[in-house]
Structures are given as structure tokens and as C-alpha cells.
Amino acid sequence: MTTKSWRDLQSMHRACTIVVETLDALAEAAVAGTTTKELDTLSRERIVKAGAIPAFLGYRGYPATLCISLNNEVVHGIPSAKRKLKDGDLVSLDLGCIVDGFYGDAARTVAVGKVSPEAQRLMKATEESLHAGIAQCQPAKRVGDIGAAVQGVAEGYGYSVVREFVGHGIGTSLHEDPQVPNYGPAGRRERLVPGMCLAIEPMVNVGRPDVRVLEDGWTAVTVDGSLSAHFELSLAITRHGPWILSEPYPYGKETEKEAAVHA
Amino acid sequence: MPEGSEARPEPLVVNGRVLETLPNALFRVELETERRQEITAHVSGSSSLLRILPGEAVVVELMAYDPGRGRIVRRR
């Protein structure tokens, strides 16, 4: 685990902002008839145009800029020119980029056209669980508090959280220590300190939590075939609480900024 | 992009042969791998498996934590 300086966080803020703005564009472009490859191309063009580097392309051999996972696919779906979005699809978009050597990572699930009420409820539950996790990101709390909060919300809706994949520290690598599971118990695991950066990313299934990875070595699907959603944001722990790095610094006071990330 | 969790490592499943029985329901097992390692293994689950005799062919699960230890999951 490394803590970041205020200067490091400026780069992470830029990286995360580019990722989230690209996700906005992707969400608009995700209409019936679009191929998943077209969205991948769009994401790569936007990231490069913004002066950043795609973070996933080539990461452990991953072949694309974007992860795009439909319906019962949980995460790590590989874009394909043969695959068209259709009305009613639930589409998880996961994207990362590098600015000045610092990584930004974010994801969200969007609906193509009109989706089932269950799919809408799942998206709401997953996003809500992410924000419940973020609310725990106060100095002196622990990583287990985040997981317990996420799990509490998701299971409160009657859904389940995926265990095989977890959130992670982020910084000069895509995945740094600590691992951030989306389940409890509270009060366990690493202590949160100012300057720490985490990517929190609940993956929530309507049915059972179990997932398996397809033959392509990447695409994770729910074992029972149920719908799955995925929301992710990268944030920094500051003395005042969480700073979601794709948003402006929320705690004002220019002069105190440097101190905000010193433990 | 989520990271694969380290919390649930998959056990490595290999074939082995029991060499001798040890006290405390432990067994010395030779693995049928290229390197012919010997490990100490305990028995998973029901006690009916406790009557494993030297020479029996078994299936063993290994965890990364301690490569010298294993768990006999069944006969074969």
C-alpha cells in the first residue's frame, strides 16, 4: 500500500475524470444495434484524444480498452465486432486510463432501451451499495467496514455480492494493495489512512453469488445465469473523508489541501 | 477492473499413493507428479475414510500456503 501526495492526486483526478467522461459518452452510445467493438473503439479514441493511455489494453494480456459485460456476464467481457446490443440488454461498462503514470478506474451498468423492472432494481441496488461503501471511507475506519456496508445494502435488496473478484488499491499500478472485498466483516482488514487510494466496485447478482470464467480466460458469468450489475469509482481517503477522484475536490479550503492527505 | 480475489484460492488436485499411516489420522502420501514429492496429508470429511491403508490410490488437494501438507479427498 502506498499513500499519494497532493500532486499525485492531481494526476489521478485527471485520469479518473477522463474515464468517467468517457463512460458518459459510452452510456449514450450504448443503443440497440451498436456492436460492443464499436464502443471499445469509441472508448480508445476518447482516451487517446484526451492525452491518456488505455489502462486495460495489454493488462495481463487483456485484448481491449473496455470491458463490456452483458446481462448474466459479471465482469471482464471482451468487446466483439460480432456482438450487437439489443433492446432490454443490461450492459456493464468498465474502463481505465493512465495519466502521468497514475491510473483511473471506473465502471457502471446501463440499460439498452427498456429493461425489466428487476434489472432496474438491480442497478439501483448496486449503485446504492457502492455509495454506502464510499461513505465508510473515513480515516481510521477499516477496509472491512467498506465491504460490510456494500454487502448490507446489496443483501438488503435480496441480492448477492460476488466473492471471486474484489476492489483494489490503485495508483501507479491498476491493482495495488489492499484488496477491497465487497463483503464483511466490519472492523477487520487494513486501516484507512489519508492519502490512500481505493477502487471500490460492487458486483451484485440477482441470484447466487457464484461466478465462473468462460473459455476465453476473461469473461466471468453468473453460474446460475442470473443478471449481474457492476458499479465502480476510484477515490482517495482524505482527512475529511472520501474524495471521489472523478469529481472536484469537495472539502474547499485551498490552504489545507496538502495537509488533507497527510497521515 | 476488478482484481481476482486472493481470499479464495483454488486447491490444486493431484493423484497420490499412501505410503504409510501416521499417528493422529495423518498419512504419508507420495504424489504421482513428475517430482514424486512426499507430503503429509490428513483426511477430509467422514471417518469411514480413516481406514486408508498403505498402498491405496487417493486424490489429494494441496494449498499454496504449505506445499508439504495436503488433504485426502477421496479414494480412486
Per-residue pLDDT, averaged over A5-24, amounts to: 94
- Inform me whether the pLDDT recorded for B49 exceeds 70: no
Q: Do A163 and B8 touch (CB under 8 A)?
A: yes
- Please tell me the distance from the alpha carbon of residue B52 to that of residue B61, in angstroms, as a whole number: 16
Q: What grid cell was written down for A55? A: 489502462
Contact list, A105 vs chain B (CB under 8 Å): 1
- pLDDT, one tens digit per residue, over A52-105 is 999 999 999 999 999 999 999 999 999 999 999 999 999 999 999 999 999 999
The residue ranges of every structural domain in chain B are: 12-75
Q: Do B7 and A163 touch (CB under 8 A)?
A: yes
**In 3D, which of B52, B72, B50, B53 has the Cα closest to residue B61?**
B72
Contact list, A165 vs chain B (CB under 8 Å): 2-5
Contact list, A184 vs chain B (CB under 8 Å): none
DSSP per-residue letters across A81-113: TT-B--TT-EEEEEEEEEETTEEEEEEEEEESS
Q: What distance, in Å, lies between the first and last C-alpha atoms of chain A?
A: 13
Residue of B nearest to A174 (CA): B1
- Inform me whether the pLDDT recorded for A44 exceeds 70: yes
- Surface of A (120-179) touching B: CB under 8 A: 163-168, 174-175, 179
Look at residue B52 in the predicted model and tell me its pLDDT. 83
Give the burial class of B18: count Cβ atoms within 10 A of its Cβ; 0-12 exposed, 13-18 middle, 19 or more buried. buried
Q: A129 pLDDT band (50/70/90 cuts)?
A: very high
β-strands B69-75, B38-43: how paired?
parallel
Q: What grid cell was written down for A44? A: 480508445
Contact list, B1 vs chain A (CB under 8 Å): 55-56, 59, 62, 67, 75-76, 94, 96, 105, 107, 174-175
Instruction: Give me the helix-helix angle, A117-135 and A143-156, nearest 10°.
Output: 160
Look at residue B65 in the predicted model and tell me its pLDDT. 76
Look at residue A262 in the predicted model and tell me its pLDDT. 73
Q: Do A168 and B3 touch (CB under 8 A)?
A: yes
- CA A51 to chain CA centroid, Å, is 21
- Inform me whether the pLDDT recorded for A29 exceeds 80: yes
CATH 1.10.10.10 applies to domain B12-75? no
Three-class DSSP category at B44: coil
Look at residue B11 in the predicted model and tell me its pLDDT. 77
Amino acid at A236: A
- pLDDT, one tens digit per residue, over A140-188 is 999 999 999 999 999 999 999 999 999 999 999 999 999 999 998 989 8
Distance from CA of B7 to the nearest CA of A (A): 8
Domains and CATH numbers, chain A: 6-243 (3.90.230.10)
- Please tell me the distance from the alpha carbon of residue A30 to that of residue A23, in angstroms, as a whole number: 10
Look at residue B64 in the predicted model and tell me its pLDDT. 75
Look at residue A98 in the predicted model and tell me its pLDDT. 95
Look at residue B9 in the predicted model and tell me its pLDDT. 62
- Please tell me the distance from the alpha carbon of residue A142 to that of residue A188, in angstroms, as a whole number: 6
Q: Which helix (H) or strand (E) holds A29?
A: helix A6-29
Look at residue B43 in the predicted model and tell me its pLDDT. 86
Lowest mean pLDDT among A17-21, A233-237, B6-10, B25-29: B6-10
